Each structure stands twice: as structure tokens, then as C-alpha cells.
Amino acid sequence: MANPPGAREEKQERKTATTDPRKKASFTVPVAKGLINTLKHILRREPNTIHYPDEKRTPYPGYRGEHRLKRDELGREKCVACFLCSTACPAHCIEIVAEEAPWDDREKRPRLFNIDMMRCIYCGMCEEACPCDAIELTPVFNIPSRTRAEKIYDKEKLLSL
Amino acid sequence: MANNPTNDSAVSMTKWQLNGQEVENHAGMTIMEAAKEHGIEIPCFCYHPGLSIAGNCRICMVESNRSHKPVISCSERIAEGLEIETDSEVAVDARNSVMEFQLINHPLDCPVCDKSGECVLQDHSYAHGPDRSRFVEDKNIRHTKELGPDISIWGNRCIVCTRCVRFCDEISGTSELCIVERGDRSVVDVFPEIPIDNQLAGNTVDICPVGALISHDFKYEARVWNMDRIDSVCGGCSRGCNIEVETLDGFVKRLIPRENLDVNDWWMCDEGRYGWRHLYADDRITQATRDGAEQTDSAATDALEELLSESGPVAFLIDPFLTCEELHLVQGLAASRPGSKVGGWLPADGTAASFPSGFQISAAKYPNRSGAEQVFGDQVFGDDAKQLQKSLLSNGFDTVIAFCGGHQSTGPGDSWTQALANTATRIVFSVMNGPWLEGASLVLPATAPIEKEGTWINEDGRLQRTRSCWNPGTDPFAVELVRLQALQHALGLRGRSLSAAGVFRELAAANTAFSGHNHSDLGSPGLLLSERPAAVASDGGTE
């Protein structure tokens, strides 16, 4: 593509304008500062690593760990089985079967609510999609288990967390 | 319908302006229908092509040069020189204001409402509604109650479009529903002790534009966006209503009607709608057994071949649930065994019904009697069947292959059961468990009507294509179309197995009644065999 007339001269001017102070710049001071910083870290007493699992790091606020289902003030599950979390889930790891709720103030509740934690990618979309604030990602991150079956959390397990 | 005069042959054309463009339509069309022909969809709640025009929802208002105020496009008709704007400021403003009014009392139930995902109010709210409510007063509370054995109303959700009321007045002719109360308290109700229990009642749930009417059968079963839809044909009676089968993870959740103006308009009967639960009943046959011992599916096909390769003439007992393709395969087998006979059994007649709209329910509770008569001749359920029964009773055959399909738990009846019991080697394809299976040499699981892939001919002679809701991932056995072809292959009658469309091509080549057609010709309205172009019929006749 052809440059518009005058573009070349403008470019030339800008080049001289920016390169001019760079000629005088010296890198000695910044490099020395950086090396001093490195030296400080080398001579530091306490290590950067921690003795996990004896010591545990506190996760930052908003950390997305293990899920739990919340209860309302009467101790009932908040979930109304609307399937929005399973619809939003990019990993398709939430399985819900609805049933009629025995309470007057709502129509539905989940009979089955399974999350396959092995398939979950901990993206938090379920939490974001929930219209009832019923599902939440806790900061719990150390959740090992011996079998795959244990990693499929059912409703009771999710409510007890 | 009476309010749509487009079908008259002697209608003239009307020139009018739509959004500044000169357009032409049949005279007497409504603005909404005419605009739709030019690709402009005007939103509507109360308008339904199968019902009379009520004009009470007002969402379809457009700007007209003949009126100071916006007009409703569902009832206003086009005229020479009429200028209509569907997206002008006046029209958009009117539409948005109506939408805001509709949403004043509508609850925010979408997460638990079964209509959510296919709700007209949801769609229009997304397109035309405000993103927040200015309404600070308390919302109206209206009744939630059972209107009939299969239907409940959530009054709060009702937008009083009166589609369901008009349906009961005009289509079913039973008039159970009415609007009670006035103004913002008005809601659909039934009279005391007269529940809505007519044979077409389930359609009111389908046409409800919101989730006010809810079917007990489908309540909380699935969210509609998760389901797969298959265009199918109902096998409940010989009308062959066009339906959609909706499945979740391969399991049927509900059946809804599909528009076909030549057969069922927009409707289906409740008998067909709720007649699928037997698919998952305990007495459904899903496991092949040989002399009472369970067989794997491929071993069952091998056993079938073994029994047939040793046999002489074979008696074939067909049922009126088999598709034309399956019947063609049976015919191929029968032709390969000289001396074989084919007869058919018919389930007992049910009750027929017809409705003011012209909708009919047939007494013949099976889908494909006409198809079997096209393939095997007119007497396959008449004299042929009588002769077959007689020769079975007099030990005329060593081997019989019987098809006991359909959803009838009654099966082929006592006389046929007795005739079958007289034969040494009995091979029975059956959907449900029943007395006709007692002592059978080989029991093979069969597919129910909505699980079949192929074509049926309804009582008017209309050839219609039905698609299967069969899920190979979860399905435990080979369908008849596959098993019969495997058998033909094993017996050396066939080179390779074909799809249903491939078998239909073979059938069309062999049988003049079907000649010149294939599956892709049939389309959604199906094909009336008696109305085929003469050239096509005579072309095929030479074969």
C-alpha cells in the first residue's frame, strides 16, 4: 500500500525526536539496582516455599475451590433445580433431577444434584449463573481422594460442606 | 381456517406498502400474515393460525397511514394504498409499552417455569421488553390450581391471551375453559365440577404462549433447551398425526404435535400424546431369549439364521405397526422360501372421534394397515390371514415368524396365540411381554412405533416418513430393520445392509405403488399416493 504524501517525512521527524534522548541514556544504574535486589533475595533468611501440607497458604479472596450448596435460614437447600448452573457449565459436570418441593414457598427442588469434581474446571460459571445464590465455590483446594467415585459429590455431600 | 381467505382460487392481488416498499399480496390477508410472506415477523401472543382472531394482546401494533393510532396487524387486513410501518418510532413505542404492561404482573418464575426456553413472552421480552420494571406496587396474586386430570394453571403467569379458551370453543368444541374476573384479576378457569378432560386437552398446554397451563405429565421433567427433537409420526391410530418426539439423554420426555395442514393441522390427541410410557415399562422386552435362556443380541441374530436355514416353508404373521421398509424385508424373506405364507393380525378397534374443527381420531389403533396392504395385497389382513390361521391350526407349518409389535398390551389375541402355539418352531418379535410369547423358541425384542425409522401409509393413503427416537448409545438391541437385513445377508439374499432410505429405494423399484419416490421426496406433509402424477405411476408400472 502506498503511504499518504508527507508520511515519510513525518516518520523521519518522529524517529529523530525519540532516538535523541536515548543516546545519552546509561544502563549502568538500573542494572546495578536490579543486581542489588537479586542479592537481597539470595541473602534472605526465610525461604519462599512453605512446608505443605504442615503449613497451608491462605488463598486470596475470590479463590475458586470446592463447591458447596447453601442452605436458607430454615435449613432447607436454597437450590430450586432450575438447571441454569448445568446449562452454564462448560464441562457438563453437573447432573440434576428435579422434583416437586414439599414447601409452600417454592415449586421445585433437586432430587439429585451431582457434581463430577474430576470433570469440573473450577471456572465459577455455575456460581455466576445461579439465580438463587444457592451454589458457591469455597476456597478449599486440598481435596484429594482415593477413588474416582468419591469425586462425584452428591447433594448431601455438597450441602454438608 | 375461515379467517384466512388465501386458499380461494379467485382472489385478486392487493398492492400495498410495507416499511416503504411496494409489495403485493392476496386480497383479504391480514397485515401480519402478509408481512410474514415478505419475511417480516410481527410479534404476537393471542394470534394463532389455527384459531379465530381475538386481538386482545395488542403486541402486534403497527403504524398505518389510515389511522391516527397504531392498528393491530393480526386482525387489520391489507388494502390498496395502505402504508404500514412495522419498525417506526410509533410502532416500536407501542410494542414496548404493551410489553411493559404484560410484564407488570408476570412473576419472575422463569428458573422454575417449565415453559422457560420455549416461552413467547420470554422471547418478546428479550426483544422488545424493558430491562427493569418501573412497577413498585405489589403484584397481583391469582389462583394456581388443577383444571383437569392432566392440566394445571399457574394464574400468576397467565397473560389472558384466550388461546386456550378459543381452542376449547372452536377446535375441541367442548368449551370447558372460560375467563373469570375482570381487568388485571382476570384469569383462565373452569366451571365447578366440569374439569378440562376432553380428548384434545393437551394442546392447550402447547399453544399457551406462557407457562400458565402446565401438563402434569411433563411437569419438572426436563428443561426444554436440553432436549433433542425428532420429527416423527404418531403410531397411535391410522390418522398418522405428525409429531415431534422430545428426548433427554435418549429417553422420551414428551410428544408434541407438528404442523401438517393435510393431516392434523397443529393438534394431536391426548391418547397419542401420553401413549409412550410403555416404552420404559417393566414388561417391555429388551432381551432376546432362546427357549427361555437369555441371549446376547448378536447370538440372537445367529440363532434366527440357524432356525431359518434348516426350515422349509415359513409362515409369516405380520402386524400393522411394521413400516413399509420392514414389510419389504419380510416380503424378501417370504419370497426366498417357496411355499411360505403371509398373513396379518389386527388389534381390536378402539373408539373413533371427530371434532368441530375437522380433527379426527381413528378407531383403527395402528399406523400402517394400508402400507401392509400395498406390499402384500388387499387380503393380507382378510382372507390370507384366515387361511394362515387355519393352516397353522392344522399343523401346516413347522416354522412361524410372528411380529407382535405396537403398544397394545393385548397383543394378537387368543385365536392367534392358539394358532402360534401349534407350531414347532416359533420366532416372535415382540415389544411387550404377553401370552403369545409362552413357549416360543426364540423371542426377539422389537421396536415400538415411535422408535421405528421408515414410512407409514395412513388411512387416507398418505405416505409419511417417521424418524426414530432410537438412541444407539443406550439401546440394547438391533432394530428390526437392521436384524432382518443381517438375516437376509446371512441367508445369502442380500449383499450389504442399507439405511431405511436405501430399503425404500429397493421397495420403490419392486412395487409399483411406491415407484418413482424416495425418502427425500416425502418432505414434511407426506405424499398422497392416489394423487401422484400419472407419469410417475405409469413409469414405475413397467418394472
Q: What is the pLDDT of residues B494-537, one digit of tens each?
A: 888 899 999 999 999 998 888 888 888 887 888 888 765 544 44
Distance from CA of A109 to the nearest CA of B (A): 9
Asked if the structure places residue B489 within a domain, the reply is yes
Asked if the structure places residue B68 within a domain, the reply is yes
Set of chain A residues whose Cβ sits within 8 Å of the Cβ of B122:
none
Query: Are the Cβ atoms of A83 and B226 closer than 8 angstroms?
Result: yes
- For an interface test with A, give the residue of B217, B223, B224 to mutate (most A CBs within 10 A): B223
Set of chain A residues whose Cβ sits within 8 Å of the Cβ of B220:
81, 98-100, 107-108
Asked if the structure places residue B463 within a domain, the reply is no
Residues within 8 A of B (CB atoms), A 85-114 only: 87, 98-100, 106-108
Distance from CA of B220 to the nearest CA of A (A): 6
B315 and B211 co-located in one domain: no
Distance from CA of A106 to the nearest CA of B (A): 9
B54 and B201 co-located in one domain: no
B315 and B412 co-located in one domain: yes
Asked if the structure places residue B162 within a domain, the reply is yes
Please tell me the predicted confidence (pLDDT) of residue B53: 95
Phi then psi for residue B4, to 5 deg, are -120, 95
Question: Which residue among A80, A99, A100 places its CB closest to the CB of B111?
Answer: A80
Query: Which of B210, B226, B242 corresponds to the end of one domain?
Result: B226
Taking only the tens place, the pLDDT of each residue in A129-160 is 999 999 999 999 888 899 999 999 999 999 99
B139 and B93 co-located in one domain: no
Please tell me the predicted confidence (pLDDT) of residue B175: 93
Residue A54, pLDDT above cutoff 70: yes
Domain count, chain B: 3
Please tell me the predicted confidence (pLDDT) of residue B60: 94
Query: Are the Cβ atoms of A87 and B111 closer than 8 angstroms?
Result: no
Query: Are the Cβ atoms of B223 and A80 closer than 8 angstroms?
Result: no
Please report, to the nearest 10 degrees, the dihedral formed by the alpha carbons of residues B213, B218, B223, B225 taken in order.
Answer: -90
User: Alpha-carbon distance B166 to B130, whole Å?
Assistant: 30
B56 and B143 co-located in one domain: no
Please tell me the predicted confidence (pLDDT) of residue A20: 59
Who contacts A88 (Cβ-Cβ below 8 Å, separation ≥6)?
A125, A126, A128, A129
Contact B402, B427 (CB under 8 A): yes
Query: Which of B195, B226, B257 corresponds to the end of one domain?
Result: B226
Query: Are the Cβ atoms of A87 and B223 closer than 8 angstroms?
Result: yes
- Kindly report the pTM of this predicted structure: 0.85
Please tell me the predicted confidence (pLDDT) of residue A42: 87
User: Alpha-carbon distance B22 to B272, whole Å?
Assistant: 46
Query: Are the Cβ atoms of A87 and B225 closer than 8 angstroms?
Result: yes
Render each residue's pLDDT in chain B as its tens digit; 543 residues: 444 444 545 568 999 999 999 999 999 999 999 999 999 999 999 999 999 999 999 999 999 999 999 999 999 999 999 999 999 999 999 999 999 999 999 998 899 999 999 999 999 999 998 888 899 999 999 999 999 999 999 999 999 999 999 999 999 999 999 999 998 899 999 999 999 999 999 999 999 999 999 999 999 999 999 999 999 999 989 999 999 999 998 889 999 999 999 999 999 999 999 988 888 888 888 889 999 899 898 899 999 999 988 888 899 999 999 999 999 999 999 999 888 999 999 988 889 999 999 999 999 999 999 999 999 999 999 899 999 999 998 888 889 999 988 665 567 888 888 888 888 899 999 998 888 888 899 999 999 888 999 999 999 999 999 999 886 556 788 899 999 999 999 988 988 889 999 999 999 999 888 888 888 888 788 888 876 554 444 443 333
Edge-to-edge strand order for the sheet containing B213-215? B144-146, B151-154, B213-215
Asked if the structure places residue B335 within a domain, the reply is yes
CATH number at residue B27: 3.10.20.740
B402 and B441 co-located in one domain: yes
B206 and B331 co-located in one domain: no
Map out the domains of chain A as residue ranges. Answer: 67-160
Query: Which of B185, B205, B226 corresponds to the end of one domain?
Result: B226
Please tell me the predicted confidence (pLDDT) of residue A16: 52
Asked if the structure places residue B110 within a domain, the reply is no
User: Alpha-carbon distance B404 to B410, whole Å?
Assistant: 10
CATH number belonging to domain A67-160: 3.30.70.3270
**Residue ranges making up the domain that contains B408:** 283-349+367-455+470-541
Cα nearest neighbour of A98 on chain B: B220
Interface residues of chain B, partner chain A, Cβ below 8 Å? 111-112, 219-221, 223, 225-226
Set of chain A residues whose Cβ sits within 8 Å of the Cβ of B226:
83, 87
Query: Are the Cβ atoms of B112 and A132 closer than 8 angstroms?
Result: no
User: Alpha-carbon distance B94 to B19, whole Å?
Assistant: 16
Please tell me the predicted confidence (pLDDT) of residue B537: 43
Complex-level ipTM: 0.80
CATH number at residue B438: 3.40.50.740
CB-count exposure of residue A123 (10 Å: 0-12, 13-18, 19+): middle
Long-range contacts of B418-422 (CB under 8 A, 24+ apart): B418/B393, B419/B388, B419/B389, B419/B392, B419/B393, B420/B317, B420/B392, B422/B392, B422/B393, B422/B395
Distance from CA of A31 to the nearest CA of B (A): 56
Cα nearest neighbour of B224 on chain A: A83
Set of chain A residues whose Cβ sits within 8 Å of the Cβ of B153:
none
Q: Where are the beta strands (DSSP E) in B424-492?
A: 425-430, 442-445, 454-457, 462-466
Question: Within its chain, how far is the Cα of B76 from the centroid?
Answer: 33
Asked if the structure places residue B114 within a domain, the reply is no
Set of chain B residues whose Cβ sits within 8 Å of the Cβ of A82:
111-112, 223
Distance from CA of A10 to the nearest CA of B (A): 49
Residues within 8 A of B (CB atoms), A 57-86 only: 80-84
Query: Are the Cβ atoms of B220 and A99 closer than 8 angstroms?
Result: yes
User: Alpha-carbon distance B519 to B453, whole Å?
Assistant: 11
Cα nearest neighbour of A101 on chain B: B220
Distance from CA of A76 to the nearest CA of B (A): 17
Distance from CA of A134 to the nearest CA of B (A): 13
- For an interface test with A, give the residue of B108, B112, B113 to mutate (most A CBs within 10 A): B112
Query: Are the Cβ atoms of A131 and B220 closer than 8 angstroms?
Result: no
Asked if the structure places residue B383 within a domain, the reply is yes
User: Alpha-carbon distance A96 to A130, whole Å?
Assistant: 14
A vs B: CB pairs below 8 A: 25
Cα nearest neighbour of B110 on chain A: A82
Phi/psi class of residue A124: alpha, beta or left (left: φ > 0; alpha: ψ in -120 to 50)?
left
Taking only the tens place, the pLDDT of each residue in A15-53 is 555 555 666 678 899 999 999 999 998 888 877 788 888
